Amino acid sequence: MFKAVLIANRGEIAARIARTCKRMGIRTVAVYSEADEGAPHTQIADEAYLIGPAHVTKSYLNAERILEVAREAGVDAIHPGYGLLSENSEFVHAVEAAGITFIGPRAEVMELMGDKARAREFAQKAGVPVVPGSDGVVADEDAAIALAESIGYPILVKASAGGGGIGMNLAKNEKKLRKAVQASVRRAESAFGDPSFYLERYIENPRHIEIQVLADTHGNAIHLFERECSVQRRHQKVIEEAPSPLVSRHDGLRERMCEAALALVRASEYVNAGTVEFIADEAGNFYFIEMNTRLQVEHPVTEMIAGLDLVEWQLRVAAGEELTIAQDALTIDGHAIECRLYAENPDKMFMPAPGTITTFKAPTGEGVRLDSGVDAGREVTPYYDPLIAKLIVHASDRPAAIAKMKGALTEMEIGGLTTNLNMHIELMDDADFQAGDIHTGWLEKR
């Protein structure tokens, strides 16, 4: 096992990874920007190093500086968390070249899955169902118009290097498709330096279902069931739960989706933790959309129902250990829900609302977990994602989990700035949410 791990991240995920490392007796090294000086993740870690100014390009995305700290601190592994450098294959190559273990998949698989068009084509060859669309990257705007006639409207234009909804635009006719292509190309070029795009048929009112997978270097691969992440704004998740209300309604659907996810894992020789994401319709038809080659923000709900620590298994797999968890020994224990608490204004199109946290009181009780990277007196700055904390609950079934979440949200206190806390309380009382009748556009249409 590793002696020291550098956590190349910030906020709640850095704090969460540090806690598992410390429980396992692994020395932890945190990094921080000038804006994050004294942040909780730096206090939890054994050591902390300043890596640059507030802006991410000069700090958390500064791979050279992070590797400099890794060598100085004498670590033998780097955990990237999620976001930032977590899916940057060049960073993986640089880490390995420095003789340090990267806690995640191989760079080659990361590159494959990071290109959404290539990943779609690869999934199709592996026998995983995909949404009807273009075979790979589309040459230009005119080619998109011609293809749309055979695929059928409505059409989604998607950036090949996209993620988080960036470079994704919907078109319901030819005129709007031209504008959607132009917008996607422009946004993708700006965000990723890659203007390439592909087309997919738009599935009306889709459900977002994802399968958590874990694979080792010895050829073993398992799934840890599914999560549903259909409550979203701007194509980004707000509430996640496990298991999925939709999947639970259809006999055999869970087994089919999980086996499809494992087929992709085996075909790509994937190693470490990953998530295979699908969209599904109410009839139970499902289609591959992408694979995230890292730990997910919503991984705690899977930990709750599966009874294990995903970060611990990431570390063990990266250290060369063999999975000791048999697939047939895994069962779903109850129901878990996660609410993402953001410094944002739901009444103003969920725009970020940075400010200083004056009070911060965490709820308590059995089956209640709070993953946070802030405390009272800390400023939520405009430099980073405005996520304050993730509130997770676990109960015997979905109705009990909803009731427990409402109680925990009511007990939670975040003062001094605008948040989406009250919105979450309202959603727990919403009849559609309670019935599990949701989809990816549901929140913004309420």
**Inter-residue contact 198 to 116 (CB < 8 Å):** yes
Phi-psi category of 437—alpha, beta or left, where left has phi over 0 and alpha has psi -120 to 50? Answer: beta
pLDDT digits (tens, 9 = 90+) for 268-319: 999 999 999 999 999 999 999 999 999 999 999 999 999 999 999 999 999 9
Q: Rounded CA gap, 278 and 261, in Å?
A: 9
- Residue 360 has φ and ψ, to the nearest 5°, of -150, 105
Assess if residue 110 is contained within a domain. Answer: no
Assess if residue 82 is contained within a domain. Answer: yes
Q: How far apart are the first and last CA of the chain?
A: 49
pLDDT digits (tens, 9 = 90+) for 206-251: 999 999 999 999 999 999 999 999 999 988 999 999 999 999 999 9
Token representation of residue 107: 């760079």
pLDDT digits (tens, 9 = 90+) for 384-396: 999 999 999 999 9
For 306, the domain range is: 207-445
Q: Rounded CA gap, 254 and 211, in Å?
A: 9
Assess if residue 424 is contained within a domain. Answer: yes
Domain ends where: 85, 103, 121? 103
Residues 237 and 361 in one domain: yes
Catalytically annotated residues: 294
Q: Rounded CA gap, 323 and 341, in Å?
A: 33
Instruction: Indicate yes or no: pTM above 0.85.
Output: yes
- 3 state SS for 183-216: HHHHHHHHHHCCCCEEEEECCCCCEEEEEEEEEC
Residues 191 and 236 in one domain: no
Residues 196 and 82 in one domain: no
Mean pLDDT of 121-143: 92
Confidence label for 165 from pLDDT (cuts 50, 70 and 90): confident
